Structure 1
Amino acid sequence: MSEEPLEQLDAVDFAVIAFHVDGEWDVDELTLDHLLDAPTLVAAMRRLPGEDSVALVAVDEDWFLVARVVEGRVRMLLSDATAAEDWDLAASVLDLLGLPEPEDDDDQVPAGDLGLLADLGMGAEDLGALIADLDLYPEEILSEVAEEIGFGDDFDDVVGLAPADHA
């Protein structure tokens, strides 16, 4: 492995995996080895028990990735498509989704499936509104996402965040 991917992995703020077994979420940290690229992350998620898993990854206090594997189907959301210009993981997400890198790196827009968590209680409109709120850091957004879909306290414990004031 070249030094550049290692340096990029050092910028990962956190990587959390939640998987649904017997009606309960089990939440744990992902290792950095799982974040080399999107296919590696998906392969790790497919090895988990249960039929549904969600990965929440924040990088460099700047962008995040939500990945979901449910009944074998892969769905992903990158909070800022322009991250693909500088980050291998983000570029591999766009590749996996078959999306081009944005031409205008000043236009920070999400890429992927805003509705990937709708059946868990976080609709596309709500997720899009969180991403559009430029005052929020990725960890704040992902903490809110985890709360809405049912494992907020466990997420905050794993990440080491103080319990958020979830409205």
Structure 2
Amino acid sequence: MTELDPRPDVPDLDESEPVDLAFAAFRVGGQWQVDDLDDDDVESVATLGAALREFDGDAGALALVTVDDDFFVLVRVDGSRTRVLLSDVTASTEWDLAASVLDHLALPDPDEDDDGPAGDLGIVADLGMHPVDMGVLLDDVELYPDEMLSTIATRLGFGREFDEAAGLDSL
């Protein structure tokens, strides 16, 4: 007789998540730079925050991460402050990284009727993307997460650098 998993909807914590893109973006002397993040850096908001603190940017650093063409996470650190945005709250029921966003924000697990983003829509408002524009972008169900991040990067002034790093410029 086989035993059934009593919690089939809970992700296997030992499996690594299929990260599509993981980059840090930061400005030095007013010029944007985009660097790869290591797989170990994208385990949680805490590991992303720690990795971002290694970059010496003029206005902190921003992590741009997509997982399995399902969702994206933005994490921004500036000094001791960590701000986050999750593109789709329902991703937290399947992915550890998304669940760590809800933990960081002290939000409950989403109900089945919940959808939409979680976190700070104004995460990059001071860099050039208004929270309303972020909300409109996140409402566009036709865009994949990497396309949304490319749009954000373009609005902030490092679209070419992001697209090159992500291999999106050849599409």
TM-score by length of 2: 0.87
Instruction: Return the offset for 1:72.
Output: 2.7
Q: CA separation in 2, counterparts of 1:119 and 1:73?
A: 15
Large movers: runs of 4+ above 2 Å: 4-9
Unaligned runs of 5+ in 1: none
Q: Give the number of the structure whose residues are more often helix, by fraction.
A: 1
Structure 1 or 2, whichever has the larger Rg, is 2
- Residues 45-90 of structure 1 show CA distances to partners (whole Å, capped at 9, x for unaligned) of 1121124101110111111101111233111000011111111111
Match of residue 6 from structure 2: none
1:69 equivalenced with 2:77 (yes/no): yes
Code of the residue aligned with 1:83 in structure 2: it is A
Matched, 1:85 2:93: yes
Give the Cα separation in 2 of the matches to 1:142 and 1:102: 23
1:45 is aligned, of 52, 70, 74, to 52
Aligned residues: 160
- 1:1-167 map, 5 Å: 4-5=12-13, 7-9=15-17, 11-50=18-57, 51-104=59-112, 106-162=113-169
Aligned-pair distance for 1:24? 1.4
Identical-residue share of aligned pairs (%): 50
| CA shift for structure 1 position 8 | 3.6
RMSD of aligned alpha carbons: 1.7
CA 1:28–1:63: 2 relative to 1, 3 Å: same
Distance in 2 (alpha carbons) for counterparts of 1:139 and 1:75: 20
